[in-house]
Amino acid sequence: MSNLYAKENMKHLGHLKELAPEQLKAFNEFNAAVFKEGALSKKEKEIIAVAVTQVTQCPYCIDAHTKAAKKEGATLEELTEAAFVTAAIEAGGVVTHGTHVHQAKNQDASDVLYSRSNLKSLGQLAKYAPEGFKGYQAFSAASVKAGKLSTKFKEIIAVAVANATQCPYCIDVHTKNADKEGATSEELAEAIMVSSAICAGGAYAHMANMIQSYQE
């Protein structure tokens, strides 16, 4: 059996020019537009990209964007801090969605599945899993603490990641945090578009595996 994640699999993407030329052209133009210098620098966009690839878990994308970020001047410390933002957002999505368990158990869930009022149930998690909840809170706070990356930029990353994880609670909280730290609408919009491109890119890159499997 072939290695499912061998770099050599990427050669199969060359077939896309014949298989879906119009779609490939549109994807490439979309991707190029997203990564142009704008309110966010190319370096910042590539750091965001690396953070989002931790969500999509696409090894091809992790490899490509880590190298692109390095080329733009990002350090390994910066990329590691960005990846920890992702880890914290992933953890936060689980914790905040845990409020639905309390709602369902107590049969008081409303027709509005994603109401801010659901978050009042976080107290139940703190009550029944105090040590774990305390640990989560400390981890979440540490993930956005200023280091090699500023708190502002980490909150911008958090917004991009939250859109990739599709956690409405995380989007709400971190958009407000980013705004409080001085992030502009343009910066947040560009970060979201990077997240969109990375999510699309994961599907694009894995077409290499689809073609490999089809040819075996």
11-62 per-position pLDDT tens digit: 999 999 999 999 999 999 999 999 999 999 999 999 999 999 999 999 999 9
Integer Cα distance of 35 and 46 in angstroms: 8
Integer Cα distance of 188 and 185 in angstroms: 5
Helical packing angle, 151-165 and 42-56, nearest 10°: 40
Reported as a single tens digit per residue, the pLDDT across 55-100 is 999 999 999 999 999 999 999 999 999 999 999 999 999 988 877 7
pLDDT score for 112:
59
Reported as a single tens digit per residue, the pLDDT across 144-197 is 999 999 999 999 999 999 999 999 999 999 999 999 999 999 999 999 999 999
- Average pLDDT score over residue span 4-16: 90
Please, which pLDDT band fits residue 117 given cuts at 50, 70 and 90?
A: confident
Residue 105 has pLDDT above 90, yes or no: no
Phi/psi of residue 13, nearest 5 degrees = -65, -20
Rounded to two decimals, the pTM is 0.92
Domain spans in the chain, listed from the N-terminal domain onward: 39-215
Please, which pLDDT band fits residue 1 given cuts at 50, 70 and 90?
A: very low
For domain 39-215, the question of CATH label 2.40.30.10 is answered with no
**Residue among 19, 86, 22 nearest 48 (CA):** 86
Per DSSP, the residues of 64-103 read HHHHHHHHTT--HHHHHHHHHHHHHHHHHHHHHHHHHHHH
CA-based end-to-end distance of the chain? 9
From residue 82, alpha-carbon distances to 4, 10, 91, 154, 207 in Å are: 27, 26, 14, 7, 27
